[in-house]
Amino acid sequence: MREIMIGLLSMISYNISAQSFMTQWISLPEVDSTSQVWFRQTIVDSQRPTLANIIITTTGQIELYVNGYNVSTDTRLPYRVYSDNDKPICMSFNVTRFLRPDSNTIAVWYSPTYPHIQPRQISLNYNGVMPDGEKFSYNADEEWLCRKANISLTADGEEEFFSPSNDAVWNSSEYEPACWIGAKLQNDDTTSSITDYASFYNSRRVTKIIRPECHKISRDSIEYRFNPAFQGYVRITLREAKKGEKLDIGGLKYTCNGDIDEQAYRKFTDKYCDYVIICGDRKFRKSQIQNVEGVEISTYFHSNWLY
């Protein structure tokens, strides 16, 4: 019953707020074809809202965070049938459970769906109700901060991962302000239909962790084979890799940060995996690979009022 009531309130709030933000897009000031982007804003409140929703529209793929928490257990949002599609898709999330009474940080990790220039990156509205019944609504604008993420697409649609040394808390209140700049407000006069996913839609989630069946060592690489094969990505754990060391993990380009342990994986791309070949530069040692996992991603029908 509680979830139904929250869902109804969320739908009412959505209907009130949706029209006010749909065409107000923001982006990195200098848009390029491959950069993934971090967006963030901290909103100061005197009390914890009774109800809060985030409505976000994107032409790419996103992860949405509130106070450092990923608001969804799904991955590679929103679901797109074809990877070369950048039609705007709108999603709504009830984020009340993540809120604090003093300030709340909203953050978005954005990636283009494929390598191309698209100035309409995200459009976001944060709305809800305070304990005294007062309604609020904030649109993402040029006051939001942004910067390039440590992962980007490559020209051929793969990903390049520069392992961070001090960016792990970019989506929380305890972030490093250096290198962040104001987002650009895009004045969009084009007419484009927006697909509204609301609370019921096809989505994707991690369904299984698969261990490789065997591996084969050659002079300059290691090949791991998976049986059965799966759709998803491979995640490897490295130990005592050298700072600046470069690896190729089945097409993923990875640059190490030199921490004792670090993980390399794809963020927004995935592929059919029956094997993966790992190789590296002259610093690479096979003994650095501590663990190899296949992460299977499956499509399912999402139906929930809360997220």
In a domain, 144, yes or no: yes
Number of domains in the chain: 2
Tell me: do 42 and 187 sit in the same domain. yes
Quote the pLDDT of residue 307: 58
In a domain, 156, yes or no: no
Tell me: do 198 and 255 sit in the same domain. no
Tell me: do 45 and 190 sit in the same domain. yes
In a domain, 31, yes or no: yes
Domain housing 99? 2-149+166-202
Quote the pLDDT of residue 163: 87
pLDDT digits (tens, 9 = 90+) for 143-157: 999 999 999 999 999
Question: With contact defined as beta carbons under 8 Å apart, do 203 and 302 qualify?
Answer: yes
Tell me: do 173 and 293 sit in the same domain. no
In a domain, 295, yes or no: yes
- Residue 3: is its pLDDT beyond 80? no
pLDDT digits (tens, 9 = 90+) for 37-73: 999 999 998 899 999 999 999 999 999 999 999 999 9
Overall pTM surpassing 0.85 (yes/no):
yes
Tell me: do 180 and 252 sit in the same domain. no
- Token pair belonging to 201: 């839609």
Which residues, other chains included, contact 134 with Cβ-Cβ below 8 Å and sequence gap of 6+?
Answer: none
- Residue 10: is its pLDDT beyond 90? no
Quote the pLDDT of residue 210: 97
In a domain, 172, yes or no: yes
Higher-confidence position of 179 and 203: 203
In angstroms, the CA 232 to CA 78 distance is 16
Higher-confidence position of 85 and 110: 110
Tell me: do 121 and 8 sit in the same domain. yes
Tell me: do 217 and 254 sit in the same domain. yes
pLDDT digits (tens, 9 = 90+) for 218-235: 888 999 999 999 999 999
Tell me: do 178 and 224 sit in the same domain. no
Residue 26's φ and ψ, nearest 5 degrees, are -125, 160
In a domain, 286, yes or no: yes
In a domain, 91, yes or no: yes
**Average pLDDT, rounded, for the chain:** 90
- Token pair belonging to 30: 């200098």
In a domain, 307, yes or no: no
- Residue 296: is its pLDDT beyond 80? yes
